[in-house]
Homo-oligomer: A and B are copies of this chain.
Amino acid sequence: MTDPSWRESDLHDRFRDHGLEVPDSVVIPSGDDMAMLRPEAFGDGILIAADQVVVGRHVVEDADPEAIGRKAVLRNLSDVAAMAARPVATVATATLDPTRSRAWAERLHAGLHRTAREFEAPLVGGDLAIHDRPHGPTVVSVTILATPANDDGRVLTRRGAKVGDLLAVTGRLGGSLEPGGGGRHLDFPPRVGVGIGLEKVLGADLHAMIDLSDGLGLDARRLATASELAIRIDVDRVPITQGKDWRAAVEDGEDYELLFATSAAPPSEIDGVPVTVIGEFIAGSHGRVDLLGLEHPQRIDGMGWDHTTPRSSGREES
């Protein structure tokens, strides 16, 4: 079943060759049993997260392989942004369905490698496997290492919002699946610089932060739950992508913007990205999120994208 013209071991060698273009922070590059990084590449903490892209689930079946690799790294960079951290290195594993060609696999790797290098988080290791189900799913898993951007080691978790804190968001929300709308689903600028900038400007007034991957409803709930508070959002203040409605802003997911709690008014923009106050933290049922300003107030903490709905055309909630 496997394309006889290439074997996993060939691509392993290619992974290794690519890995050699690495900065001084890498003592042992990709190609050995493990890679090694200098501790000096990290400050007061070593941050780690892992995320994956499942073809047919997170991206359509015929997506460009380089774009799939890119998205797998970008999703992780969005987590780095949400901590106000700076990326340091990545590793990746991929399981391909056996109908993929060697050229496809190489382009996937190029997408991983180039995107990781672009954001100064070189790809230092990985593994490739091929499964035995033709047209079964292709899965790409990326782990990212990061370090606190702030010299004193401070990072932002989801926890720490206080009653009366403002809830603010970067960019515009909704329409991530449509090129004419937000179109951020496949490619987007991760808000790494914005996250670091917010921490620098707001300092100790910035209390909690998360990136919007599953939609304003579910992700606001996570912030509220972690801080043991409720949230009230004013629909008229939500920055919605042109041509979309509040429901798209709440449910579409994959905005990859930052949502945060602050006790001081945030700047109106950072690095050219708009920042908008959309609501506030209140005492109440932990994790409850209400959207006000509609004909009837709407409870939205159950609304968002659960990742079990394929990313293709429709996205009816199950």
Residues on A lying within 8 angstroms of B by beta carbon are: 2, 4, 7-9, 27-28, 32-39, 41-52, 54, 56-58, 79-80, 82-83, 85, 89, 91-93, 95, 124-127, 129-133, 135-137, 139, 141, 143-146, 148, 155, 157-159, 210-211, 218, 226, 306-308, 310, 318
- Nearest chain-B residue to A28 (Cβ)? B157
Q: How far is it, in angstroms, between the C-alpha of A95 and the C-alpha of B131 when the chains are bound? A: 13
Asked if A33 meets B210 with Cβ closer than 8 Å, knowing A57-B131, A127-B52, the reply is: yes
State the CA gap A95–B95 with chains docked (Å).
10
A159: nearest residue on chain B (CB-CB)? B32
Most buried by B among A7, A27, A56, A124: A27
Q: A123 vs B41: C-alpha distance in the bound complex, in angstroms? A: 23
A167 CA / B18 CA spacing, docked (Å): 30
Q: Which residues of B contact A4 (CB under 8 A)?
A: 318
Contact at A308–B95, with CB atoms within 8 Å? no
Neighbour of A129 across the interface among B52, B124, B127, CB < 8 A:
B52
Alpha-carbon gap, A44 to B38, bound state (A): 7
Say yes or no: A45 contacts B49, CB within 8 Å.
Answer: no
> In the complex this chain forms, how many copies of it are found?
2
* A306: B residues at CB distance < 8 A: 7-9
Given contacts A7-B306, A132-B310, A307-B8, contact A37 B45 (CB under 8 A): yes
Residue of B nearest to A96 (CB): B54
Chain B contacts for A139, CB-based, 8 A: 95, 129, 131, 139, 141
Q: Is the CB of B131 within 8 A of A33?
A: no
Q: Is A158's CB under 8 angstroms from B56's CB?
A: no
Q: Which of B44, B82, B95, B130 contacts A33 (CB 8 A)?
A: B82
Known: A46-B46, A47-B36, A158-B32. A131 touches B126 (CB 8 A): no
A125 to chain B: which residues have CB within 8 Å?
48-50
Provide the residues of chain B in CB contact with A308, threshold 8 Å. Answer: 2, 7-8, 130
A156 to chain B, nearest CB (A): 9
- Give the contacting residue for A143; candidates B36, B39, B50, B80; CB below 8 A: B50
- A127 proximity list for chain B (CB < 8 A): 50-52, 141
A57 to B89, CA, bound (A): 29
A29 CB, nearest partner CB in chain B, Å? 10
Min CB gap A214→B, angstroms: 8
Give complex CA distance A136, B96 in Å.
12
Complex CA–CA separation, A91 to B95 (angstroms): 17
Q: Decide: A52 near B93, CB < 8 A? Known: A2-B318, A33-B210, A137-B137.
A: yes
Q: Which 10 A-B pairs have the closest CB atoms?
A: A143-B143, A141-B141, A136-B136, A34-B49, A33-B82, A50-B91, A34-B47, A131-B137, A33-B79, A93-B141
Q: Are A39 and B36 in contact (CB under 8 A)?
A: no
Chain B nearest CB: distance from A220 CB in Å?
14
* A91 and B143 form a contact (CB under 8 A): yes
5 A-B pairs within 8 Å (CB atoms) are namely A34-B47, A34-B82, A34-B144, A35-B47, A49-B125
